[in-house]
Amino acid sequence: MAKLFLGLDSSTQSLSAVVIDLDAGKVIYEKSLNFDQSLPQFKTKNGVLPGRDPLVKHSNPLLWAAALDLLFAQMKKDKVALGKIIAISGSGQQHGSVYLNEKAVETLATLDPKKSLVENLDGVFSRKTSPIWMDSSTAKECAEIRKKLGGIKFTASRTGSDTFERFTGPQIRKFYKTEPKAYEKTTHIALVSSFMASLLAGKIAPIDFGDGAGTNLMDIRKHNWNHDAVKATAPSLIGKLPPLAASGQVIGPVSPYFVQKFGLNPEAQATAWTGDNPASVLGLGLVKSGQVAISLGTSDTFFGTMQKCVTDENGEGHVFGSPTGEYMTLICFKNGSLAREKIREQYKISDWKKFGELVASVPPGNNDGVLLPWFEAEIVPRVNKPGIHRFDLDAKDVAANCRAIFEAQMLSMRLHSQWMQVLPEKILVTGGAANDRALLQVLADVMNCPVLRIEVSKSAALGAALQAAHGWLTAAKKNPKWDKLVAPFTKPVAGSEIQPDKKAAKIYDKLLEKYAVCESDAIDGV
């Protein structure tokens, strides 16, 4: 009998499912439901409730519950062998929080399959909406928590990250300050991931070490709730937080609700979910120290894996628990494709092929020219005021500016990932710009390591399915090995490897020093 595992990903705009056949090493089913299109009654725009304050971004947790019902109904309609699925795991958009009252435990344990999840959950929320990762309304609370913990360096060294507006701790503090009575009635605070896992398990699910690290509340090294961080956030908070657990840890059998309503295997195991970023690390195959993936999208995201926990003293990067039991790092550069597109538009270049030809016409190192392309306020480095800065670079030189944007972005990645103390052995690239060979050659040369393209759709949901398999195998005492588990599902694109040019690599070693000085001068002058 085939071993089928289901991975779910509850993202900002959609709920996705991936079913894998572990023995065959294949994805056998994929499906996504867009919230706006599939559940218009919740009146969201891109999965978010409209509001007057642009800093406040909330969603309705009932939307996610309704999507779970709808997706299982769709899988049943698509004749997915739900009765053969033996474990389920998932991932949720990181940092989002759900607030439950005293009715939650009994309600979860007695879900009625004759009703929808939305009907079952009526009256269990102490807060009707959930702040999500896009919310940036807690700057004051971030400053208060950071101050109590001793500043950026100490906050990051304890929790894995500096306090950030979107992180759960500051969001909880704001809720406590603005709605103290509702906070008092809150008996359980869940993350998006643990809320969805709770629905599947029919009980309050634990928060895993990966998603727990996105709260500013978890001790990143000890993997427990940090007393000082919890105390700095809100009173009586420790009693409202669920226990912490390893990603994919078996919680118990799935709720009878899903067995009776959709025909799920009654012996299928519900496991602890994680955040979408830790799940994507699995879906991209990053299970060993020194492995790096870069997503080249609207923003560029640098994912790394490391065995030893090292935190960023400057508070720019994040450290989360990896589902492998080690650590993952994440650095987000806001001016990614956005900046590349701006340069192409500015110089009226017809297409990316022509852009690449212009890049190739200029030698590596760009004759010492440096561009700082902060078309929008940047996250890494922290730049609040947008601005374009050029050093020994003529703004009229089209080809030089084309190469400069590529070099600037890759040099920034190298500079701002040095705190990880991990030299990449190879880099996997994904995202919209991963097909641009000129950009990937610059990346290989700057990082001085091979670059390979990987095409994985729904990487978070795939990672969740692999996590379900690992959790089930571990519970069955099968001693699974992560590298063997992920290998069939995360193969790079054949023939996509790009090797670094050793001469160019030496040029970039030297240019990195100049880039760092230019960046520092520009920030000081902003």
As a three-state string, the secondary structure of 254-294 is: CCHHHHHHHCCCCCCEEECCEEHHHHHHHHCCCCCCCEEEE
460 in a structural domain:
no
Among residues 247, 279, 311, which one ends one of the domains? 279
Number of domains the chain contains: 2
pLDDT in tens, 160-209: 999 999 999 999 999 999 999 999 999 999 999 999 999 999 999 999 99
Q: Which domain holds residue 14?
A: 4-279
466 in a structural domain:
no
Predicted confidence band at 526 (pLDDT cuts at 50, 70, 90)?
low
Q: How far is CA 368 from CA 123, 339, 404, in A?
A: 63, 20, 10
Encoded tokens for 180: 């103290």
d(CA 514, CA 402): 19
Q: Are residues 213 and 252 in the same domain?
A: yes
Q: Are residues 255 and 294 in the same domain?
A: no
pLDDT in tens, 434-444: 999 999 999 99
d(CA 144, CA 141): 5
CATH number at residue 404: 3.30.420.40
Q: Are residues 261 and 131 in the same domain?
A: yes
Residue keyed to tokens 């909406």: 129
Predicted confidence band at 343 (pLDDT cuts at 50, 70, 90)?
very high
d(CA 454, CA 451): 10
Encoded tokens for 382: 């922290």
Q: What's the pLDDT score for residue 522?
A: 95
Encoded tokens for 172: 């909880």
Whether the pLDDT of residue 54 is over 80: the answer is yes
Predicted confidence band at 525 (pLDDT cuts at 50, 70, 90)?
confident
317 in a structural domain:
yes
Q: Are residues 74 and 92 in the same domain?
A: yes
CB 111 within 8 A of CB 68: no
CB 304 within 8 A of CB 227: no
Q: Are residues 219 and 259 in the same domain?
A: yes
| Angular region, 5: left φ>0, alpha ψ -120 to 50, beta rest | beta
252 in a structural domain:
yes
396 in a structural domain:
yes
Q: Are residues 405 and 424 in the same domain?
A: yes
Q: Are residues 22 and 98 in the same domain?
A: yes
pLDDT in tens, 441-498: 999 999 999 999 998 778 999 999 999 999 999 999 999 999 999 999 999 999 999 9
Q: Are residues 54 and 182 in the same domain?
A: yes
| Angular region, 221: left φ>0, alpha ψ -120 to 50, beta rest | alpha
Q: Are residues 212 and 300 in the same domain?
A: no
Angle at 160 between CA 458 and CA 223, to 5 degrees: 90
pLDDT in tens, 394-415: 999 999 999 999 999 999 999 9
